[in-house]
Amino acid sequence: MDKSWINKPHLSQDYKLGVKSFLDFAFGKSTALVMKCPCNRCSLVKSKSREDVEGDLMCFVFLNTYTSWYLHGEDVCVTETAQVPSDIAQVESDSTVNLLDDLFPNSDTNMHGGDEPGSFEHTMGTDRPSTSSGNCGEGEDFDELFADFNQELYTGCTKFTKLSFLLKLYHIKCMCGISDKGISMVLDLLKEAFTHAKLPDSFNGMKKVIRKLGLNYKSIHACPNDCMLYWEGDAEREDCKVCEASRWKVSEASRWKVSEKSTVSGSENITKKAPAKVLRYFPLKPRLQRLFMSSKTAKHMTWHVTASNSDGKLRHPRDGLAWKAFDQKYPEFASDPRNVRLGLVTDGFNPFGTMSSSHSIWPVILFPYNFPPWMSMKQTSMILSMVIPGKHMPGNDIDVYLQPLIKELKELWSDGIETLDSSTKQRFNMRAAIMWTVSDFPGLGNLSGWNTYTTLACPSCNYEGIGQRLRHGRKNCFIGHRRFLPQDHDFRQNETNFDGKIETRAPPGTISGSTIIHQLEQVNVRLGKKPRVFGVGKKRARSVGESSEKNVFDNLVYTLLDDKDKSKDNLNARKDLCELGIRSELWPVDNEKYQAACFTLNKEGKDIFLSVLKNVRLHDGYASNLSSCVDVCSGKLSGLKSHDCHVIMRDLFSVAIRNLLPENVRSTIIELCQFFRDISAKVLDIDELDKLQDRVVLILCRMEMFFTPSFFTVMVHLIVHLTEEAKYGGPVPFRWMYPIERKYKNELWMQNSQLNRRNRAIDIDREMHLNFAKWIKQKVEMNEIDGITDDLRCLALRPSEQVVKYTAYNVNGFKFRTTKRDSSLKTQNNGVYVAAETMSYASSRDPNPRAEWKIAVHIQPKDVYDMGDPNDSE
């Protein structure tokens, strides 16, 4: 049958004849008075009469993807041995079929075979996976999943199979944060309401079905003192081989768990001990394989090689020096672009979301850097590797928990694993390497083994650090940034305004990986801190610009506000100035009183500074509600997250301090804010990074001229190395913790976010009814008018009786609101700037217009109406 008319204009004669021939064919094959409507609006869901179907097809056009009319009597070629219930033919199974195809690429099943891929019968042919060769367990799992896939949820169900329904229910559980007990209660209710439904008895039964889809995790017992893992050769031990602590819980309330075990003679109760700590480990190999087995991600895994970089700017870690040096050192690994490059990220968070509890757990997450920039740092690309149990942070013992991951990474580095690439339908040996680790600064010390609490806390300076101990402040300070200046710079000879000495030292050299390995080999401690991650490609840990920015912000703001608890300018800091013999004008008088420094804000200045932050209006999602974090009366800031500090430093700080401080102090702080803005850009230029390095050294030197030494903690000092880190690792957004913190927040508040999500306000104007339009529409729908033309039918059905008016709308990821709605909110999303071109005249009598000018026209929407799209089926 000719079906070419489907794609022709719906008002053409060929289309009209095609619709009539389709209706004659469909109703000639069945004695029913209704059939599934194949228009774009109904999409084979609603059943209608012939007249209604004809009207819909003329108004909303034929569904162009419905080329096999198997729901309307057209014969479909299937194998004779396939026995399929007719009702299941209507199940929407494409997504589940694709899932099974990706999960079991080794099977011989052709789940999309046949000439008519839209038919559900083709998903259940006689081809079955062969279990005689290959993994028998995989074949058994496929058989069971295939049976659940073919099984109706209940007799007569045409929407779900058992497998698709359980997958949908499990997805809802994860998205809404429903507990295991809660989902078990839902299953009990469903079984009670639908007695014939083929549902598991509890969530455990549901997990048994879903577990066959793969990506399981392993439970590994751990010593309660974080000394060892009970795995591999130590799996059968009962106590720790280091501290001899028991493997099991010792509290009376939770010491024993009772389980039933059947024996040959009958059933008897036996006791099962509860482990003191359990590490949840998610094997990495199958998760990396899934990236290539999935058709949605496999094609992006070679982006880092296939995409060009014509201008040489840094947009991705592949443009950094570390990536290029790695390719030169390991050309065999780099020869295959499908080999995976990973970044290891870890940080602790409180799973209960309350500050009153000190409980913390430490997930370890991997980022695949093969993906393009718009994918690699997204939550959908994160690979959860393990969850280190609490309730205390692992600290320096984190390497004990990393052992399973490091072992698997070493195997992936040396041997690789055979993997199917669904984009090319070819098998290859996939290898993987850790490029670097990402963490906050204390976490860097735990991962690398470098002590971050001494005067040698800076891992980049290594043993050439500039730190010194303050006697009164009892803290380490890191002054002496003049050593990073050129040898002929005037600041090197300036003794008065700095530390009282002439600076002759050269800047510390860049430490190499082999040097770090050699230093670690010299460490001889019982438990040791030889970080096993260096065994995989010998990678170093990277410091995080975000962590430095947050600490610089805290030091700066609380010092300007002269906060009694957090200011770096206090009595002990002034005593340290006296101890060092510098800046005598700031020395305390009688060891108790001291005059205000040039960087301290007075009462009026504090009010102006805090009022700017409190009254600022930002876009939705740009930052948290800053006004709730500012208390103008008490002159304090509290509750700011790291991203809030990032936003203030980049965009608001330089505005808030204008005309509040002396020129030299103000200009230096504004340059510091501009540095953080430039270094955190998504696109970096190598030449600009060299200029940024010169700028930040001068900024730090100028800050040393008026801030006290206690201000310069190691986090302030670390900003001098951020440009070098950017050269090696690429743009900072690929190495900061914001995506991880955002994921933790989503995990904590998944359920509440669903409840607190702001509903879009939609006001329906009900006074614009057109009586005639309503009357003619009713007549046409009821077929009370004979001889009605197709044009009149479309005209009667298409116009809407209602006008939908919105107070907000989203365009290309940006939100805009009307003036009225925006005036009552804390954030500002009102106003559209449109560039208009005009000619310039000197006067009304000027006959010679000048060149075209571009004028920015500010448009403020009063109301937003949805007028509809004539080609839209909705």
Q: Which residues of 564-577 are buried (b: 16+ CB within 10 A; e: fewer)?
A: eeebbbbebbbbbb
Instruction: Say how far apart CA 363 and CA 217 lie, in whole Å.
Output: 14
pLDDT value at position 354?
55
Instruction: Say how far apart CA 88 and CA 161 lie, in whole Å.
Output: 8
Instruction: Say how far apart CA 114 and CA 104 lie, in whole Å.
Output: 19
Nearest to 369 by CA among 356, 360, 378: 378
Q: Which DSSP string do the residues of 366-382 spell out, in sequence order?
A: EEETTS-HHHHTSGGG-
At 625, the pLDDT band (50, 70, 90 cuts) reads confident
Nearest to 568 by CA among 706, 427, 404: 706
SS (H, E, C) 40-71: CCCCCCCEEEHHHHHHHHHHHCECCCCCCCHH
**Range with the poorest average pLDDT among 124-128, 156-160, 253-257:** 124-128
Q: 10 Å Cβ neighbour count for 512? A: 11
The reply to whether 159 and 18 lie within a common domain is no
pLDDT value at position 557?
93
232: CB partners within 8 A, 6+ apart: none
**Range with the poorest average pLDDT among 95-109, 647-661, 706-720, 793-807:** 95-109
Q: Which DSSP string do the residues of 579-619 spell out, in sequence order?
A: HHT--GGGSPBTTTB-PPPTT---HHHHHHHHHHHHH----
The reply to whether 811 and 686 lie within a common domain is no
Model pLDDT for residues 235-248, shown as the tens digit of each residue: 999 999 988 899 99
The answer, as to whether pTM is greater than 0.85, is: no
pLDDT value at position 863?
77
Model pLDDT for residues 171-186, shown as the tens digit of each residue: 888 778 788 889 999 9
Whether the predicted pLDDT of 855 surpasses 60: yes
Instruction: Say how far apart CA 388 and CA 396 lie, in whole Å.
Output: 13
Judge whether 619 and 637 are in contact, CB under 8 Å.
no
pLDDT value at position 691?
93
Model pLDDT for residues 356-400, shown as the tens digit of each residue: 567 888 899 999 999 999 898 888 888 999 999 988 888 888 989
Whether the predicted pLDDT of 150 surpasses 80: no
Measured torsion, CA atoms of residues 26, 28, 30, 31, in degrees rounded to the nearest 10? 130
Q: Which DSSP string do the residues of 514-567 spell out, in sequence order?
A: HHHHHHHHT---SS----GGGGTT---EE--HHHHHHHHHHHHHHHHTT-TTT-
Model pLDDT for residues 536-581, shown as the tens digit of each residue: 444 555 555 567 888 899 999 999 999 888 999 989 999 999 999 8
Whether the predicted pLDDT of 85 surpasses 80: no
Q: Which residues of 675-701 are buried (b: 16+ CB within 10 A; e: fewer)?
A: bbebbbeeebeeebbeebbebbbbbbb
3-state secondary structure of 168: helix
Judge whether 742 and 749 are in contact, CB under 8 Å.
no
The reply to whether 21 and 43 lie within a common domain is yes
Higher local confidence (pLDDT), 113 or 421:
421
Whether the predicted pLDDT of 757 surpasses 80: no
The reply to whether 715 and 579 lie within a common domain is yes
Taking CB atoms within 8 Å and a gap of at least 24, the contacts of 855-863 are 857/833, 858/831, 858/832, 858/833, 859/831, 859/832, 859/833, 859/834, 860/819, 860/830, 860/831, 860/832, 861/816, 861/817, 861/818, 861/819, 861/830, 861/832, 862/818, 862/819, 862/820, 863/805, 863/807, 863/818
743: CB partners within 8 A, 6+ apart: 365, 379, 382
Judge whether 609 and 660 are in contact, CB under 8 Å.
yes
Model pLDDT for residues 45-76, shown as the tens digit of each residue: 788 888 888 888 888 888 877 877 877 877 75
At 145, the pLDDT band (50, 70, 90 cuts) reads low
The reply to whether 666 and 576 lie within a common domain is yes
pLDDT value at position 356?
52
pLDDT value at position 88?
37
Burial class (CB in 10 A: 0-12, 13-18, 19+), 351: middle
**Range with the poorest average pLDDT among 149-163, 467-481, 620-634, 710-724:** 149-163
Is residue 235 situated within a structural domain? no
If you ran DSSP here, which 8-state letter would residue 511 be given? P
The reply to whether 796 and 698 lie within a common domain is no
The reply to whether 706 and 767 lie within a common domain is no
Instruction: Say how far apart CA 778 and CA 363 lie, in whole Å.
Output: 60
pLDDT value at position 689?
93
pLDDT value at position 252?
47
Instruction: Say how far apart CA 540 and CA 537 lie, in whole Å.
Output: 9
Question: Cα(first)–Cα(last) distance of the chain, in Å?
Answer: 29
Query: Total structural domains in the chain?
Result: 5
pLDDT value at position 126?
34
The reply to whether 564 and 640 lie within a common domain is yes
Whether the predicted pLDDT of 824 surpasses 90: no
The reply to whether 487 and 608 lie within a common domain is yes
Instruction: Say how far apart CA 721 and CA 735 lie, in whole Å.
Output: 14
Average pLDDT for 682-701: 93
Instruction: Say how far apart CA 335 and CA 332 lie, in whole Å.
Output: 5
The reply to whether 826 and 712 lie within a common domain is no
Q: Find the length of the chain.
A: 874
Q: Where are the beta strands (DSSP E) in 356-431?
A: 362-368, 383-388, 417-421, 426-430
**Range with the poorest average pLDDT among 311-315, 589-593, 684-688:** 589-593
At 744, the pLDDT band (50, 70, 90 cuts) reads low
pLDDT value at position 380?
84
Q: What are phi and psi of 436, to 5 degrees?
A: -170, 170
Is residue 171 situated within a structural domain? yes
Nearest to 636 by CA among 554, 546, 547, 548: 554
pLDDT value at position 358?
75
pLDDT value at position 648?
92
pLDDT value at position 282?
93
Structure tokens given for 189: 């209710």
Domain that includes residue 407, residue range: 300-439
Higher local confidence (pLDDT), 132 or 709:
709
Is residue 669 situated within a structural domain? yes
Percent share of the chain, pLDDT over 90 = 31
Whether the predicted pLDDT of 734 surpasses 80: yes
Q: Pick the last residue of a domain from 213, 245, 270.
A: 213
803-806, strands of its sheet edge to edge: 762-765, 803-806, 864-866
Whether the predicted pLDDT of 336 surpasses 50: yes
If you ran DSSP here, which 8-state letter would residue 450 be given? -
Q: Which of 8-17, 259-268, 659-668, 856-865 has the highest mean pLDDT?
A: 659-668
Q: Pick the last residue of a domain from 156, 179, 213.
A: 213
Average pLDDT for 678-693: 92
Judge whether 301 and 419 are in contact, CB under 8 Å.
no
Is residue 281 situated within a structural domain? no
Whether the predicted pLDDT of 488 surpasses 60: yes
Residue 730 pairs with which residues in a beta bridge?
Answer: none
- Name the pairing type of β-strands 864-866 and 803-806: antiparallel
pLDDT value at position 741?
72
Instruction: Say how far apart CA 323 and CA 164 lie, in whole Å.
Output: 42
Is residue 409 situated within a structural domain? yes
Is residue 756 situated within a structural domain? no
pLDDT value at position 799?
53
Whether the predicted pLDDT of 79 surpasses 60: no
Considering only CA atoms, give the Rg of the chain.
Answer: 34
Average pLDDT for 98-106: 59
Judge whether 623 and 647 are in contact, CB under 8 Å.
yes
The reply to whether 191 and 121 lie within a common domain is yes
Q: What share of the chain is helix, strand, coil (3-state, %, to 5)?
A: 40, 15, 45
Model pLDDT for residues 107-139, shown as the tens digit of each residue: 544 444 433 333 333 333 333 333 333 444 555
Q: Pick the last residue of a domain from 717, 734, 751.
A: 734
Instruction: Say how far apart CA 74 and CA 91 lie, in whole Å.
Output: 17
Structure tokens given for 324: 């290029």
Residue with tokens 């299941």: 88
Measured torsion, CA atoms of residues 848, 850, 854, 860, in degrees rounded to the nearest 10? -40
Residue with tokens 């993987």: 432
The reply to whether 67 and 90 lie within a common domain is no
3-state secondary structure of 837: strand
Is residue 570 situated within a structural domain? yes
Q: Which of 405-409, 527-531, 815-819 has the highest mean pLDDT?
A: 405-409
Is residue 53 situated within a structural domain? yes
Average pLDDT over the chain, rounded to an integer: 79
CA distances from 218 to 280, 292, 385, 505 (A): 6, 23, 11, 53
- Name the pairing type of β-strands 432-438 and 340-346: parallel
pLDDT value at position 30?
77
Burial class (CB in 10 A: 0-12, 13-18, 19+), 439: buried
